[in-house]
Amino acid sequence: MESYLLDWANLLLRWVHVITAIAWIGSSFYFVFLDSSLTPPVDDDLKKQGVSGELWAVHGGGFYHPVKFAGAPPKLPENLHWFYWESYSTWLTGFALFTVSYLWSAGTYLIDKSVMAWQPHSAIAVALSFLVVFWFAYDQICRHFGQRKNGDLIVGVGVAVLVCIASWLACHWFAGRAAFLLVGAMMATAMSANVLQWIIPGQRKMVASIKAGEPIDPVHGWRGKQRSVHNTYFTLPVLFAMLSNHYSFTYSHPQNWLVLILMMFAGAAIRQFFVLRHGFKLGRNNHPWKYAAVGVLAIVGLLVWLKPVSPPQSAISSGATGALATSGSGQIGYKEMQPMLAQRCYMCHGEAVQMKNVRLDTPEALSTHAQAVYQQVVVSKIMPMSNSTNMTDAERGMVKQWFEAGAKTD
């Protein structure tokens, strides 16, 4: 019953998390596009009001004319829309989902004893510290170096190094799947903290100054813009980290930390292309194709590097459970599979325990779940979870042979 309720919680939280993330990322991307696409106003009345840029757009059968003021508008409207609940809701649902999916069953999903054999409470404490420590270190880098000469470059390099260190540590301390997600959650926490700690408070101070008839401190606008720009470059790396749990060939690689870093680098480079593309169309800079090219080349390089190598036939013919007794045709049936299944799978999918209502300790039950077993064990390599029973590549090869031969039950 607990597993069933956790599945429902996972489904509903994931659903809400995706919806709120779409809203947050969508508004973030739109405002980056808007800032990059603004042109100086033509109308003299707009210039007198202090408008620094305008944009004409058509969408959904209507015409839109957003403008941006260089400083304070002549008068604040009664209804001023704020963009923050998209961020807060995304983080809250994401953290709840992380708790249900990983922290609740830390011994299964967060810990890989072949990587680090620690107790669940210790693993949970360290995982949560990633969110706090990264935010603190990132925030200090921005505070101390952001306003210096070449501050943007110094902050960019510092944050990149910080992300690389965190990725290496996470992949050497936690199960690969959890490590990728944790790095994504860590960066997403910094994104939401930027909104909570700097962007919205700064904007509230700006509004208060306007209402009080006082001059606006430009540092609030500068700092809000700085953190917003960081958020937009974090977005694609975070999305990759969140989606990676469906693709085990990334997080199960021996150098998974490097895979994670390179994919995040590719995402940031591609995002840079889209940010600059709007300015290029207005003649503000050279064509930013080189950023997209760098990102694509990084992905192509990873594609070649991670290409699976088929094990020799001799390796498939033997495994940790001993020499495989195959039939005269060289095909594998349930009889040959059973010893390996008993050692690797029955503890969670046997008579005593039937996780996800899946049982594999009879020929009929195994045949019923043949497609799922093949997908989880051979294709995605998700099972056994965190490879807690130390299934070998040779044994996965045996499952592959069995399935491709027709999933025989004899």
Asked if residue 191 and residue 284 are part of one domain, the reply reads yes
Q: For the ranges 28-32, 185-189, 262-266, 391-395, which has the lowest average pLDDT?
A: 391-395
What pLDDT does residue 386 have? 67
Q: Which residue has the higher pLDDT, 384 or 119?
A: 119
CA–CA gap between residue 293 and residue 276 (Å, rounded): 14
Q: SS3 for 53?
A: strand
What pLDDT does residue 319 have? 42
Task: Name the burial class of residue 4, with classes exposed (0-12), middle (13-18) and buried (19+) by CB atoms within 10 angstroms of its CB.
Answer: exposed
Q: For the ranges 49-58, 120-129, 251-260, 383-392, which has the lowest average pLDDT?
A: 383-392
Asked if residue 350 and residue 292 are part of one domain, the reply reads no
What pLDDT does residue 320 have? 40
What pLDDT does residue 204 have? 93
Asked if residue 355 and residue 253 are part of one domain, the reply reads no
Q: What is the mean pLDDT of residues 354-360?
A: 75
Check whether 311 has a pLDDT greater than 60: no
Residue type at 157 in one-letter notation: V
Segments in 101-150 forming alpha helices (H): 106-109, 120-145
What pLDDT does residue 281 have? 66
Residue 408 CB contacts under 8 Å (≥ 6 apart), including other chains = 331, 332, 333, 334, 402
Q: Determine, yes or no, domain membership for 165.
A: yes
Beta partners for residue 54, in sequence order: 39, 67
CA–CA gap between residue 401 and residue 280 (Å, rounded): 54
Q: Determine, yes or no, domain membership for 22.
A: no
What pLDDT does residue 309 have? 64
Asked if residue 344 and residue 298 are part of one domain, the reply reads no
Going through 48-105 in order, the beta strands assigned E by DSSP cover: 51-54, 57-59, 62-64, 67-69
Boundary (domain end) residue, out of 305, 331, 362: 305
Q: What is the mean pLDDT of residues 50-71?
A: 91
Q: Determine, yes or no, domain membership for 91.
A: no
Asked if residue 344 and residue 279 are part of one domain, the reply reads no
Cβ-contact 265, 298 below 8 angstroms = yes
Check whether 46 has a pLDDT greater than 60: yes
Q: Where in the sequence is the domain holding 372, given as residue range(s)? A: 313-404
Check whether 329 has a pLDDT greater than 60: no
Q: Determine, yes or no, domain membership for 10.
A: no
Boundary (domain end) residue, out of 305, 330, 356: 305
Boundary (domain end) residue, out of 277, 305, 333: 305
Nearest to 256 by CA among 171, 140, 346: 171
What pLDDT does residue 95 have? 95
CA 143 distance to own-chain centroid: 26
Domain count, the chain: 2
What pLDDT does residue 316 have? 42
Check whether 194 has a pLDDT greater than 50: yes
What pLDDT does residue 340 have? 86
Q: Which residue has the higher pLDDT, 109 or 228?
A: 228
Check whether 314 has a pLDDT greater than 50: no
The two structure tokens encoding residue 103 = 């922290």
Cβ-contact 206, 249 below 8 angstroms = no
Best-predicted range by mean pLDDT (139-143, 346-350, 355-359, 362-366): 139-143
Cβ-contact 224, 257 below 8 angstroms = no
pTM (2 d.p.): 0.80
Check whether 3 has a pLDDT greater than 80: no
Going through 234-354 in order, the beta strands assigned E by DSSP cover: 318-319, 322-323
Q: For the ranges 109-118, 165-174, 233-242, which has the lowest average pLDDT?
A: 109-118
Confidence bin at 322 (pLDDT 50/70/90):
very low
Q: Determine, yes or no, domain membership for 60.
A: no
Asked if residue 369 and residue 299 are part of one domain, the reply reads no
283 — phi, psi (to 5°)? Answer: 80, 25
Q: What is the mean pLDDT of residues 145-160?
A: 90
Q: Determine, yes or no, domain membership for 53.
A: no
Instruction: Tell me the percentage of the chain whose pLDDT exceeds 90.
Output: 47
What pLDDT does residue 21 have? 94
Asked if residue 224 and residue 116 are part of one domain, the reply reads yes
Calculated CA dihedral for residues 265, 240, 295, 155, nearest 10 degrees = -30
Check whether 330 has a pLDDT greater than 70: no
Confidence bin at 278 (pLDDT 50/70/90):
confident
Asked if residue 169 and residue 289 are part of one domain, the reply reads yes
What pLDDT does residue 310 have? 56
Mean pLDDT of the chain: 86
